[in-house]
Chain A
């Protein structure tokens, strides 16, 4: 899974900002933009992002795998940021490989961008969510963000599955 994010960036320079990540994902190998609609006003979606993202996503995950010929121990620290604007709410998720992964290129403060979710109003009672993320390994994360946006499920994604 750790490789996925690196593949998104490919051999090019790593996106240094959320905006660079948004621009890189559509054309990236294993990159995907997913959109859906939440039947809640932007303010409610933003409030849920603000409440759930830090609690659920600011986590550290250690992955240990071992075979007869190899041993891998990766510590990944995730860092979530929610940015609220009058007409937009952004959720940025970065991951910082503390050990076990060599990352080519410059790593932005907070770690490599892994997912960006933008919430923008469709009208007073509906919100559009655009999620920029790798196409592999982010299914649970995307479902969780969908649940927060719609208000249907406020649970946290098991980040060991991301």
Chain B
């Protein structure tokens, strides 16, 4: 499967009735900071992150979704278990009723005691998902996005 699949047209983020809120998991070891701009007063851009569990054979199981409707949201991912996070950028135009969405996924297996921060941006049709890992002693470094294709859960 490719790194991500984008759907244009009839697919609407909000229209997916099968979506459910991601449950509260303690500790909240992941922070997602987002800044999404549609670039036009005639359109809007919304973001969300779908969280899937990964089993030992890298099969995904949908757990829930967190809307990126605040500049910063926190969530908890189970430590030492691989999760697959799919960031979705859904745009819709007020004129003509068109919509589109694109997404970027990454596998994350949190280490106990570590904190993770995603910086997610969408501006002028260019998006970026940057992940940083902070160790308990305060050091941090950027982690590359890990595709599901190369999963080794």
* Contact present for B8 and A147 (CB under 8 Å): no
* Contact present for A144 and B126 (CB under 8 Å): yes
* Contact present for B125 and A66 (CB under 8 Å): no
B34 at the interface (CB under 8 A from A): no
* Contact present for B5 and A62 (CB under 8 Å): yes
Q: Which residues of A contact B127 (CB under 8 A)?
A: 155-156, 158
* Contact present for B8 and A140 (CB under 8 Å): no
Measured as residues with beta carbon below 8 angstroms from the partner, the interface class of chain A is 20 to 34
Complex Cα distance, B2 from A161, in Å, reads: 18
B62 at the interface (CB under 8 A from A): no
Q: Which residues of B contact A28 (CB under 8 A)?
A: none
Specify the main secondary structure of chain B where it touches its partner. strand
B 134-146 to A, binary, CB cutoff 8 A, 1 in contact else 0 = 0000000000010
* Contact present for B147 and A66 (CB under 8 Å): no
Residues of A at the B interface (CB closer than 8 Å) are 54-55, 58-66, 77, 140, 143-144, 147, 153-161
22 A-B pairs whose Cβ atoms sit less than 8 Å apart in the complex: A59-B3, A60-B2, A61-B6, A61-B7, A62-B5, A62-B7, A63-B9, A64-B7, A64-B8, A64-B9, A64-B11, A66-B10, A143-B126, A144-B126, A147-B126, A153-B128, A155-B121, A155-B127, A156-B126, A158-B89, A158-B102, A160-B101
* 4 nearest CB pairs, A to B: A64-B9, A155-B128, A155-B126, A140-B125
